[in-house]
Structure 1
Amino acid sequence: MKYNKSFIAVFAVSLAQGSLAQTWCGKNFMANQTVVPPGGQFVLPSKSDTPLLSFQCAPVFRPYLEEDAKSAAFIVDSPIVYDWVAGAEPISLPPSGTSLGSLDVTISVGPIHATANVPLNSTGFQIPVDISKLLSQKTAYNVTCSAKYSAPSSSKSQKFKTSASLLYLPDTTASVTKTDLRTGALWVRPADGKGGAFAPFIPQGFYVAFDPYLVSNLSVIDSLKADGFVFHCLSPSKQLLNRPLSRFNTLHAYPPYDNLTAFQMVIDKAGSSGMNYKNLTAVAEQVNTYASIPNLLNWETAHEPDGNSDPHNATWLTYDLIYQMDGYHPISIVLNCQDYDFSPYVTGADIVLHDAYPLGINGTFSPVWNTSCTPDFGHCGCDNCQGTMYDVKARVQTFKDRLNIMGFDRTKSVWTTPQAFGSGAYWNSTPTGQQWAALGFTSFSHGAIGSKSYHYPTTTGNATTIEGTATKLTVLIKEVIQPFLVDPTATYAYYDYQGVDAGLWHNGTTYLLLVVNMGENVYVPWKDVGLGWITNATTQVQSVYTSSQSVNATGLNFKPGDIGIYTATP
């Protein structure tokens, strides 16, 4: 099989199926149904009046390969919190105003023990761990991380313990997708099957119909390549294969693709080469078939299991099976509901996507079912949404917060699915290119580390359309935004100033500012988005991508809906 060197393709195989259940997000939604509270709400942690230690550890990368054995490391987090998040334990601290001191940490895996002093109330502390004495294997190693703490003014010792998993796999010539657990970003080799160094990768692309859009015309793939896609194919059950192509860097082919011969032709053309994720036999067959292709990015299993009220253990059973067969690629799921059975479903994923599509809906009345929508009843196209960009901002942030509460903030990441369709069914309009970009910007500012829009073909034409906007924006995401998001040393802060949503990163030299105005006309002082040191906007600020706002020495002028990418250097 031949591979086009310039066509870096990455597939994500999905094993999910979407269908409309009798309820949606646990709610009745038809006119002849009664109101029954759905339940399934996420339980927030209780508060603590005294300090707690949230002690966690994780390998820097998942998986590690034999070639990484000498350079492996673990991350240790030791923040002081006042919420009973998963694993939090009471800790006695010295009097206020005195040094907190450090933890004596030991990481144990098999015969290997590594120790280090870790500052208390720190995050991202790395401890080198040589794992070359371990045998590489498909089964993850159990890791014990223990800590001992004595306050500087006390001789009393306090002990803490947590656990982690180390996936240490044999080297392979097939594709490998690592996850950097410092940032949540994926790391991949060139997808031409010829090897090379691993590098960070932020997916940025679209779902696309496999049948009939791709299967009926393979030349479409050549056009997608020229446009810069990374290609994501979705199976009949919404199985997902991810491949890079050019204007966007990710594409999902969504079902049906029952014609497996045609599906294989699409895979071959794209660069290298009735299934349901709950059918483990079918899952195993697909994993065996595609695990070795050189441009496989990740597996996607459940698509909207919360909406369909799938069995709570379904995502975990599939997750466990895939890891028994192939630990070289992460597993993603897509959740549709705002707050319905989040906890059980995310146990079966490394990557959690939302697919909230709020723009153009009526959040209180469904034109499809002619019923009202409330927190307990109805289906309006976007669960518990207001019909604004705020819904996506809140959904991404909420998912991040819940994973943190569950103790998964290192081991599970959040991706976003910006809305790239409309003007039908629940949606009375289609997002403009600027609105589509804003959905992505606010997602990055709230912790998303990948973006897969639904769907392609989308609006085409000039720079005001989604496709026209994506032509330029995907390049900027790769060249300007990605280096900050994947940098484990970069600091991050979030600001909300009179409706302007702003994310600020600093890599030690340069600042990156992403802004989205979700409100009215407003002037934003630099100091209110973390850049109060700016005195000369001409020399210190670069407008990388903006809609219409202007800048001066003291701040930015925003109109409703304005967006921007700025870099600033002192």
Structure 2
Amino acid sequence: MKGFTVLPTALAALGIFRSAFAFNAPPGVLTWCGKAYEPTNASFNPGGQFNYPKPQSAALLYVTVEPRYSIFLESDGGGSFIVNAPISYIFGQSFNNVTYTNTDGGKRTLVPGPFTTLAIDIMVEDTGMLLVSDFVDVNSTGSLFSFSFSGLKARDKPYSISLYGTSLDGYQSYSATTEIYILPDRTDGGSAVKIDNLYGGLWVQNKKNNWSGWYAVYPSGFYTDANYIFQSPDNLYAYQDAGMTSINLVPDDTTFDYTTLDQYWDMMDEINLLNLYDMRYTYTNTTSVTEQVNMFKNRTTLLMWYTGDEPDGAGDALNSTKLAYKAIKAIDPYHPVSLVLNCANFYFKDYAAGADILFEDAYPVGINATWSKPFDTPCNATYGDCGCDECVGELEDVSNRLDTFAAYQAALETPSKPLWSVLQGFGGDGYWNTVPSEAEFLAMIMLSINHNAKGLSSWWYPSSAPIQTIMGTIGKILQASPVIDFVYGTNPVSKLAVKNGPLLDVASWTVGSQMMVGIANGNVVATNQEVTITLPATVTSVNTTVYGNANWAVSDGKLQKKGLDGLEADILIVNIAS
């Protein structure tokens, strides 16, 4: 695991870094993800399990509004809102599927009909300024409505926004709230980074584009040993030359050597290597957080702040990530805040509240998922630590964790946050017998992309040469057209139907008349059966093989290929029927 208080020497020799005493544990009991794991301790219910809301019997209309992007800049001139109005049985306000209209002839007889259209007004709450007056379809999601910044002064404080909606007959009414940031343009050399709240991608404005407009970045890189990078500029330049677009420099103790960090950050600014500034050891100290944010908030290659590193595993205070988040945002609204969650099901809502972007780090390669090798104890829902919380020890643990976090978010009455994958790039001791092979690492990348990860990082750099090479190779592909146009232009349709590929994971992204198809074979053994993939639209031809095997063909509107390589990973662009 990553960077916590080192336990006694015998455990440290095994490469195990674990928490001290968590808030939920009996006195003197060490835990991970809320569970006791030492042989001398008994199991107990860790608590913190996610509670899915109970569906109601009557349909509700769940109207929400949020800005298209997490921040706007004054020079954008205008922005847009995302309005959702789905029928729900969990969240929303009462819904009666009927509206009334008047008949002709002045009789004013009310005639019932279905409730299909909602009239909406979106306004600034404290002034009543009207930004949008329009209509949205009932049972729709992702509707966009533009507005002008005219009359809205750029400022660091967000504007409170309210949506008021009514049925066309005026008998049913709905409301929703959000906030928007309209920030002053950067004039201090710093970057601005916004999250696309519709598709989850990151957009940057900084020195690279001369602070004009925005460019998309699909971050891919490693958590890196800062001391290794700081040995020589050659190490930093080699890292970027390999194809990495982002970096997380990890201090070896509570803080960086700030003099050295400044020198290397100057180099990162020169080559536009985007930094996730790591405060893992100090994020619970808001005084230290404030000092660090003030030191680096004006860097042109600051991508985001990184606070809690597995706070759920360590059992940090439930409000710790939120307190750090508030401290950062009070100083710097221009950058997102991120953290990584390690546990499958331990106070997700509380820890996730302290970030704009959530990472998962299920590490499944070389583990025994049911028996702890370091502690010689079982692992289950209430006891034990096997290095990958409630995993099965297969590569799909990565995609399963992404799906689980997505499901948790969908069951919360708050907007969902983008998810990233932290990939296993280490092994050989402790819980993990082996370093992943190049094929295993590539499969975890493809599973992450297929399940809507909007960024990739890996623990640890330097890693094996094959892992470094494949991360750089895929990083270059993700950062360039046409792939970034698909992954940032829509969300994937995952878990598509496959014949003769039982462990084949397939997802698709449709933009216009083309579709990108991501293919990840979870089977390590090659097969020679004919594999058929049914996609959400009729395929007319294969346009491009962006990565992987070029032997896919089209038959009867579907993708087909004779046989699969073990752990095969492919990215295709196909043409689809209109």
Taking the aligned partners of 2:171 and 2:430, their CA distance within structure 1 comes to 63
* Letter aligned with residue 129 of structure 2: I
Q: State the shift of 1:337 in Å.
A: 0.3
How big is each residue's C-alpha offset from its partner over 1:50-83, in whole Å with a ceiling of 9 and x where there is no partner? 3222211011112111112x3211110111123x
Are residues 1:62 and 2:70 paired? yes
Q: How does 1:546-561 map to 2 (within 5 A)?
A: 546=548, 551=553, 553=555, 555-556=560-561, 557-561=563-567
Are residues 1:499 and 2:503 paired? yes
**Contact 2:497–2:533 (8 Å) recurs in 1:** no
Are residues 1:20 and 2:19 paired? yes
Q: State the shift of 1:431 in Å.
A: 1.4
Are residues 1:508 and 2:512 paired? yes
Taking the aligned partners of 2:300 and 2:507, their CA distance within structure 1 comes to 35
Question: Which residue pairs with 2:45 in the alignment?
Answer: 37
Are residues 1:260 and 2:258 paired? yes
Q: 5+ residue gaps in structure 1?
A: 1-13, 237-253
Q: State the shift of 1:46 in Å.
A: 1.0
* Letter aligned with residue 141 of structure 2: T
Q: 1:370 to 1:233 in 2, by over 3 A?
A: same
Q: Which has the larger radius of gyration?
A: 2
Question: Which residue pairs with 2:310 in the alignment?
Answer: 304
Are residues 1:111 and 2:113 paired? no
Q: State the shift of 1:100 in Å.
A: 4.6
**Contact 1:205–1:229 (8 Å) recurs in 2:** yes
- Bigger relative contact order (CA 8 A; separation at least 6): 1
* Letter aligned with residue 416 of structure 1: S
Taking the aligned partners of 2:3 and 2:150, their CA distance within structure 1 comes to 35
Question: Which residue pairs with 1:128 in the alignment?
Answer: 146
Question: Which residue pairs with 2:107 in the alignment?
Answer: none
**Contact 1:420–1:466 (8 Å) recurs in 2:** yes
Given candidates 79, 87, 103, the residue that maps to 1:80 is 87
What's the secondary structure of 2:185's corresponding residue? coil
Q: How does 1:523-542 map to 2 (within 5 A)?
A: 523-527=530-534, 529-531=535-537, 533-534=538-539, 539-542=541-544
Question: Which residue pairs with 1:163 in the alignment?
Answer: 177
Q: 1:471 to 1:295 in 2, by over 3 A?
A: closer
Q: 5+ residue gaps in structure 2?
A: 6-16, 21-29, 100-112, 273-278
Aligned residue pairs, count: 518
- The RMSD of aligned alpha carbons is 2.5
Q: State the shift of 1:509 in Å.
A: 1.7
What's the secondary structure of 1:74's corresponding residue? strand
Question: Which residue pairs with 2:218 in the alignment?
Answer: 202
Q: 1:534 to 1:194 in 2, by over 3 A?
A: closer
Taking the aligned partners of 2:350 and 2:408, their CA distance within structure 1 comes to 12
Given candidates 93, 96, 106, the residue that maps to 2:97 is 93
Given candidates 209, 218, 230, the residue that maps to 2:233 is 218
Q: 1:383 to 1:493 in 2, by over 3 A?
A: closer
Could you tell me the percent identity over the aligned residues?
A: 28
What's the secondary structure of 2:262's corresponding residue? helix
* Letter aligned with residue 265 of structure 1: Q
How big is each residue's C-alpha offset from its partner over 1:10-62, in whole Å with a ceiling of 9 and x where there is no partner? xxxx9998853321000000111111111101111212333222211011112
Q: State the shift of 1:560 in Å.
A: 4.0
**Contact 2:222–2:458 (8 Å) recurs in 1:** yes
Question: Which residue pairs with 2:463 in the alignment?
Answer: 458
Are residues 1:294 and 2:300 paired? yes
Are residues 1:434 and 2:432 paired? no
What's the secondary structure of 1:540's corresponding residue? strand
Q: State the shift of 1:134 in Å.
A: 2.2
Taking the aligned partners of 1:219 and 1:405, their CA distance within structure 2 comes to 47
**Contact 1:15–1:276 (8 Å) recurs in 2:** no
Q: State the shift of 1:471 in Å.
A: 3.7
Question: Which residue pairs with 1:243 in the alignment?
Answer: none
Taking the aligned partners of 1:285 and 1:511, their CA distance within structure 2 comes to 47
**Contact 2:245–2:475 (8 Å) recurs in 1:** no
Q: State the shift of 1:89 in Å.
A: 2.4
Q: State the shift of 1:269 in Å.
A: 2.7
Q: 1:20 to 1:59 in 2, by over 3 A?
A: same
**Contact 1:15–1:283 (8 Å) recurs in 2:** no
What's the secondary structure of 2:31's corresponding residue? coil
What's the secondary structure of 2:122's corresponding residue? strand
How big is each residue's C-alpha offset from its partner over 1:157-199, in whole Å with a ceiling of 9 and x where there is no partner? 2111111111121111321001111211111125448323201
Given candidates 144, 147, 166, the residue that maps to 2:165 is 147
Taking the aligned partners of 2:73 and 2:266, their CA distance within structure 1 comes to 27
* Letter aligned with residue 280 of structure 1: T
Q: 1:558 to 1:53 in 2, by over 3 A?
A: farther
Q: TM-score, normalised by structure 2?
A: 0.84
**Contact 1:16–1:276 (8 Å) recurs in 2:** no
Taking the aligned partners of 1:331 and 1:106, their CA distance within structure 2 comes to 31
What's the secondary structure of 2:453's corresponding residue? coil
Question: Which residue pairs with 2:109 in the alignment?
Answer: none
Given candidates 479, 482, 485, the residue that maps to 1:483 is 485
Q: 1:268 to 1:193 in 2, by over 3 A?
A: farther
What's the secondary structure of 2:539's corresponding residue? coil
What's the secondary structure of 2:405's corresponding residue? helix
Q: State the shift of 1:318 in Å.
A: 0.9
* Letter aligned with residue 295 of structure 2: T
Q: State the shift of 1:550 in Å.
A: 5.0
Taking the aligned partners of 2:71 and 2:372, their CA distance within structure 1 comes to 45
Q: 1:419 to 1:100 in 2, by over 3 A?
A: farther
Q: State the shift of 1:255 in Å.
A: 5.7
What's the secondary structure of 1:177's corresponding residue? strand
Question: Which residue pairs with 1:357 in the alignment?
Answer: 363
How big is each residue's C-alpha offset from its partner over 1:83-124, in whole Å with a ceiling of 9 and x where there is no partner? x14xx22311249xx865211111111332121100111111
